[in-house]
Structure 1
Amino acid sequence: MPSGPSPRGAAGALTGPHAALRAGVVWEVLRQALQDRAAAAGRQELDVLDTGGGSGSLAVPVAGLGHRVTVVDPSPDALFALERRAGEEGVAGRVRAVQGDTQDLLEVAGAGAFDLVLCHGVLEYVEDPAAALRSVAGALRPAGGTLSLLTAGVGGAVLARALAGRFTEARRALGDPAGRWGGADPLPRRFTPAALTALVAEAGLVPGPVHGVRIFADLVPGSLVDTEPEALQELTRLEAEAAGRPAFQAVAAQLHVRAEVPDEM
């Protein structure tokens, strides 16, 4: 994770129609992962780690479901905002804020201590994604744990630049190993579905299906879904139905994969 402000930040908060739509697919997959992991563990209260969790856009809702959440983030300001948000939502006792990054993750959070780990918006920024993912995998309980991994997708960037008339930048992103469209690109790297699942497997985990996130949401004017409830509902359904289809994953702004600790780990 970068040493500056959290890469996820407040923009990832589950608030507002358009913002909730963008996060909806991930949130539903995450809710299902929590339910499945609780059933497998035989207990309702899980220990969850949110790496790069920033101000708690996911950590606080997860704590609201009754789980204990540890947030590791390099930004003191983000962690202060997290504690304030947790207090406002009445889950302060279930949320722990820890300053750190993927390099010292196991030291500050603990190895093999978590039922579920969230790694959202992190691999794009770290110097060595494979090493970072190994650390993240090491935080999962060896007897059974689940990883929720969310990264930026190459295809979504190519499509966005092309639709903006930035055809040269679209071609650069398409051919660049890191999926970057130029020197002004704010993201150090992006991933394809194949590259993402390969990283997960190299970290010793079993990857599940990839889901495309923000396939259409970023292309639809916010004013449309903010003022037309029916349009929001239909677009939400469209996002959910397209999320698991490879053709649409290829042009998604973000990619999500759920992975499990193998039985022999």
Structure 2
Amino acid sequence: MVWEVVRAALERRSAELGRPVLEVVDTGGGTGNFAVPVARLGHRVTVVDPSPDALFALERRAAEAGVTELVRAVQGDAQTLPELVPAGSVDAVLCHGVLEVVDDPAEALGNLVGTLGKGGLVSLLAANRNGAVLARAVAGQFTEARTALDAADGRWGPGDPMPRRFTGEQLDALTADAGLKVTSVHGIRVFADLVPGVLVDTEPGALDALLKLELAAAEQPAFHAVATQLHLLAEAH
């Protein structure tokens, strides 16, 4: 779902600008799960990530895909982004799984937006607090579910590997404060993390049916609140 939304958005932006090659930044892009497919579309992608190992894997992956000339690996993070990417030079930014781990999500998002030209795109994927509450409750961890529900950071306890989660309202506020206009919201993994794996693995056709259900539910606002992740597509004013 996320890839299809991103791909279509890049296609529209390319048509709007009247040029086939866009400048894309993938912050926290790691080994290139999105960067390499974006480069395969013909766009230039700068991946900014703090891990040298991940960037090495990215370069190897880009070489295997034949897009080495379109992918640039830069060690850094959202905080140092203004020093790495010129302001207003980017057509689209991918920010997937980043706001959960940075010290200051508002500052990080502001730095990302600062690299964009007018009308530039932001693809934002973040962990949803309500989805974690539901998952813990379904697993019988009711105290942890209540902790996540009440905690400002959406964590269910000291053992929670996720540093921070957001509600849809919090993401709306962050994007608005950063000067972004949200154009679409999708719920990601509405059911997948709740369904016992044995059902998907053993029932014929179950995986395909689950994927179709996920795709259908992703666009319905009623399911956004309980998705594991929220994907927002936005544009800079």
With the shorter chain as reference, the TM-score category is: over 0.9
Post-superposition offset of 1:229:
7.0
SS of 1:141 mapped into structure 2: strand
Q: Deviations over 1:8-49 (max 9, x none)?
A: xxxxxxxxxxxxxxxxx1111111111111111111111110
Q: Distance in 1 between matches of 2:117 and 2:50?
A: 23
Q: Distance in 2 between matches of 1:89 and 1:244?
A: 31
Q: Distance in 2 between matches of 1:207 and 1:145?
A: 12
* Correspondence for 1:162: 137
Look up the equivalent residue of 2:120 and give its one-letter code.
Answer: G
* Correspondence for 1:43: 19
Post-superposition offset of 1:185:
0.9
* 1:149 matches 2:128: no
Pairing partner for 1:242 from 217, 226, 234:
217
* 1:139 matches 2:89: no
* Correspondence for 1:13: none
Identity %: 65
Look up the equivalent residue of 2:42 and give its one-letter code.
Answer: G
**Structure 1: segments with no counterpart, 5+ residues:** 1-24
Pairing partner for 2:4 from 15, 28, 34:
28
Pairing partner for 1:128 from 104, 112, 115:
104
Look up the equivalent residue of 1:157 and give its one-letter code.
Answer: A
* 1:107 matches 2:107: no
The answer as to whether partners of 1:98 and 1:109 remain within 8 angstroms in 2 is no
SS of 1:69 mapped into structure 2: strand
Distance 1:207 1:91, change over 3 A: same
SS of 1:146 mapped into structure 2: strand
Q: TM-score under structure 1 normalisation?
A: 0.86
1:213-224 superposed matches below 5 A:
213-222=188-197, 224=199
Aligned residues: 237
* 1:210 matches 2:191: no
Q: Distance in 2 between matches of 1:226 and 1:256?
A: 27
* Correspondence for 2:206: 231
Pairing partner for 1:73 from 41, 49, 52:
49
The answer as to whether partners of 1:50 and 1:71 remain within 8 angstroms in 2 is yes
Look up the equivalent residue of 1:130 and give its one-letter code.
Answer: A
**Structure 2: segments with no counterpart, 5+ residues:** none
Post-superposition offset of 1:171:
0.4
* Correspondence for 2:73: 97
Look up the equivalent residue of 1:72 and give its one-letter code.
Answer: V
Q: Distance in 2 between matches of 1:76 and 1:222?
A: 34
The answer as to whether partners of 2:138 and 2:194 remain within 8 angstroms in 1 is no
